[in-house]
Structure 1
Amino acid sequence: MSARRGRASRRAPVRDHLLRDLDHWQQAVDLRTQWLNHALCTDPADRRNAEDAVTGLYALLGRPRPAFVWVDSPAAAVPSVASQHTVSPHGAQPWESGLASLVSTLRHRIDARIGAVDPDDWPRPPALPDPVAALRSGTGLSPVLDQGVLGALRRGVRQSVANVIRSAIPERFGLAWYGQHEVDWVARHDVHQRIHGRPFDATDGAQWELWATLVRSCGWWWPREDVCVLAERPSAVHTEPAPDDVYGEIRLHAADGPAVVYPDGWGVYSWHGTRVPAWVIEDPTVEAISAESNVEVRRCAIERIGWAAFIERAGLTLVGRSVDPGNSANELRLYDLPYRHRGSTTRLLLAVNGSVERDGTRRQYGLHVPPWFDDPIDAAGWTYGLSGAQYAGLQRRT
């Protein structure tokens, strides 16, 4: 065999393996999309299947079928859940902690079977920013699947959607499960068993299916001793792709109303993934912005108006302007502000992002800087921990 033929024969298995991994990755993307659709579903809950799945979980803990109370939103669940919230004698945790142990041990058993890595051990930000490039460079399929399925759904659904909703609930009692928003780990195990051909054993598979049914059937739910409170799914959910969403991450966002609305009218407002009060979206004014103490809420409200409009309406005084050395196609502008930041007078440095957004534009943003800066370049350097002269020497910033 010639040297050329020998090299070709060695490359063929490598190429075939890569093509197989790329095909599996595309299958995983399709499955992730299916599960994401369940997570964002706005159809009325499938109450029969949801109740049967909960009953199955109660049975695994030796409990009879509970009574079911349905509510139209997580906020509406508070009175019903509060009335059922008890602590048993001797300081033991509420009964629902047994269910937490049940699902935790299930996930650990399945993770061990599929050889999955604990997501808490992942580096942050994700170490694999481009799944296809990672596979082409020799990264194994499993870590790509974990980043692209569990990681993407955890960041997009659990951390963005569920956490934003959770933060808006006025009170919480005991443990709750997120129903359709538990999609991350359920989808991960589904993808691994389908693509790697590692089916669950019968017992684990039956329990996994109960949790999967709840993802496909209902919103949040609160299991208690003899009663289970379940919430309907939202009637509307508005999202957008997250920045650099190579793994399909999404975040809550709506520019003209609530990002999430439930059948009883309760909802949550979100501006590019940040929960905000209704006024930020419905009626942002200079007066409300000036009175707002939360810097993130204030930033979102200004972005909702637009920086140029805010500067004009607020009558900000321009202190100085300069070509941005780190982004020479744009200017740095320094303004006096009409409100205090963290109790102190402050100035606003208006800059343009060095990176291009998904739509081809560059985002304008404002940074609070100490009031003693008169030179925009000195102020820009301060935000990077540099002197003005050091910042002026930058070739490019992001």
Structure 2
Amino acid sequence: MLDDGHAFPPVRLRAATLPGHIDRWPVGPRLAKLLKELRSRLNARIGHERDTQPWRRQLGLSAEDALAAGHSVPSVVNDIVHGALKTTLHTCVRAPTRTELMRARALPTTGSTDGLTWYGQLDAYWVAHYDVYRRLGLAHYRHEDADQLGLLAELARSTGWWWPGEGRCVMAERPTEIHTEPLPGAFHGELRLHRDDGPAVRFADGTRVHVMHGTHVPDWVITAPTVDRIHAETNIEVRRSAIERIGWGAYIEQAGLRPVATTGDPGSDLHLYDVPFLWAEQK
């Protein structure tokens, strides 16, 4: 990460204030414009077909069964490749990792520095989306566009976050550890971050991200959950994760909760406890 203590000078870039000719733009916005134009050309080649309601969520079909049922090849590819990878990389991995890194390192963010942020390996979901069309012979790209896509694929294989600048390019190391579990209800191998005995993501410089079943949590939830810390926590998902970490039975006993009612069907009783404090009143 950025361990030298130097920060990018803050500037706010707006289209109206950029120089008229793209060659005079800063590197970040210039690269972003070129990338947007590349994706537009690639979308034109593949038809950019996207179902508003993906077939697998409607029917729960495998790829083979969906094709046999008459669903188009592009719709199946979009869901298996783009949809599945986006769920894993963009939603389940990038979001909690980005939150932790921004908090711990004050990393530069898009639109607030002299460079725009790219996500390296975590951009693989959209890079692979175009690449699989080429590999399957479903689309043929111009030579120049194929070369640019190849460079983006190489970046996804080689780096983590990266920031282009004038005469410099900051590239972050990829994590040394990533721990995951299957995403419940997934059809195509989607994963989410999870580890209940240590950090789900670890970087070589010691930066760590703690996640339980996809929920980004403070390190104390994993390393030292206590009833007092649980009662002081205002985030309901963090509280739930901490209780699950020590076990519901142990939590009820340690918190001294008093049972007030039991209901439910035989073998699946629901127990209601009196909670002697109000989380809703916490600030």
Smaller-chain TM-score bracket: 0.7 to 0.9
Query: Retained in 1: the 8 A contact 2:55–2:61?
Result: no
Q: Distance in 1 between matches of 2:268 and 2:168?
A: 61
Q: Verify: 1:339 aligned to 2:277, yes or no.
A: yes
Q: Verify: 1:163 aligned to 2:95, yes or no.
A: yes
Partner of 2:268: 330
Q: Distance in 2 between matches of 1:136 and 1:91?
A: 53
- Alpha-carbon spacing, 1:144–1:125, altered in 2? closer, same or farther (3 Å): closer
Q: Distance in 2 between matches of 1:285 and 1:245?
A: 33
Residues 318-360 of structure 1: per-residue CA shift (max 9 Å, x gap): 0100124xxx54011111124323218xxxxxxxxxxxxxxxx
Secondary structure class of the residue paired with 1:342: helix
Q: Verify: 1:136 aligned to 2:68, yes or no.
A: yes
Q: Distance in 2 between matches of 1:180 and 1:220?
A: 8
When the two structures are superposed, what TM-score results if normalisation uses the length of structure 2? Answer: 0.85
Query: Retained in 1: the 8 A contact 2:196–2:222?
Result: yes
Q: Distance in 2 between matches of 1:239 and 1:141?
A: 29
Q: Distance in 2 between matches of 1:140 and 1:196?
A: 15
CA root-mean-square deviation: 2.4
Q: Distance in 2 between matches of 1:242 and 1:88?
A: 38
- Alpha-carbon spacing, 1:278–1:338, altered in 2? closer, same or farther (3 Å): farther
Query: Retained in 2: the 8 A contact 1:84–1:227?
Result: no
Q: Verify: 1:288 aligned to 2:234, yes or no.
A: no
Q: Verify: 1:299 aligned to 2:230, yes or no.
A: no
Structure 2 residues without counterparts, runs of 5 or longer: 19-24, 111-115
Query: Retained in 2: the 8 A contact 1:128–1:147?
Result: no
Q: Distance in 2 between matches of 1:256 and 1:300?
A: 13
Q: Distance in 1 between matches of 2:97 and 2:56?
A: 24
Query: Retained in 2: the 8 A contact 1:85–1:224?
Result: no
Partner of 2:184: 243
- Alpha-carbon spacing, 1:268–1:193, altered in 2? closer, same or farther (3 Å): same
- Alpha-carbon spacing, 1:88–1:301, altered in 2? closer, same or farther (3 Å): closer
Query: Retained in 1: the 8 A contact 2:177–2:202?
Result: yes
Q: Distance in 2 between matches of 1:298 and 1:244?
A: 24
- Alpha-carbon spacing, 1:142–1:88, altered in 2? closer, same or farther (3 Å): closer
Query: Retained in 2: the 8 A contact 1:126–1:147?
Result: no
Secondary structure class of the residue paired with 1:83: coil
Amino acid at match of 1:145: V
Partner of 1:149: 81
The alpha-carbon deviation at position 131 of structure 1 amounts to 2.6
Partner of 1:227: 168
Q: Distance in 1 between matches of 2:175 and 2:161?
A: 10
Amino acid at match of 2:210: Y
Partner of 2:21: none
The alpha-carbon deviation at position 209 of structure 1 amounts to 0.7
Secondary structure class of the residue paired with 1:117: coil
Kindly, what percent of the aligned residue pairs are identical?
42
Greater C-alpha Rg = 1
Aligned residue-pair number:
265
The alpha-carbon deviation at position 260 of structure 1 amounts to 0.5
The alpha-carbon deviation at position 88 of structure 1 amounts to 6.7
Matching residue within 273, 276, 279 for 2:220: 279
Q: Distance in 2 between matches of 1:191 and 1:306?
A: 44
Secondary structure class of the residue paired with 1:322: strand
Structure 1 residues without counterparts, runs of 5 or longer: 1-72, 345-398
Q: Distance in 1 between matches of 2:263 and 2:118?
A: 52
Query: Retained in 1: the 8 A contact 2:194–2:213?
Result: yes
Secondary structure class of the residue paired with 1:321: strand
When the two structures are superposed, what TM-score results if normalisation uses the length of structure 1? Answer: 0.62
Partner of 1:83: 8
Query: Retained in 2: the 8 A contact 1:222–1:230?
Result: yes
Query: Retained in 1: the 8 A contact 2:120–2:162?
Result: yes
Q: Verify: 1:269 aligned to 2:210, yes or no.
A: yes
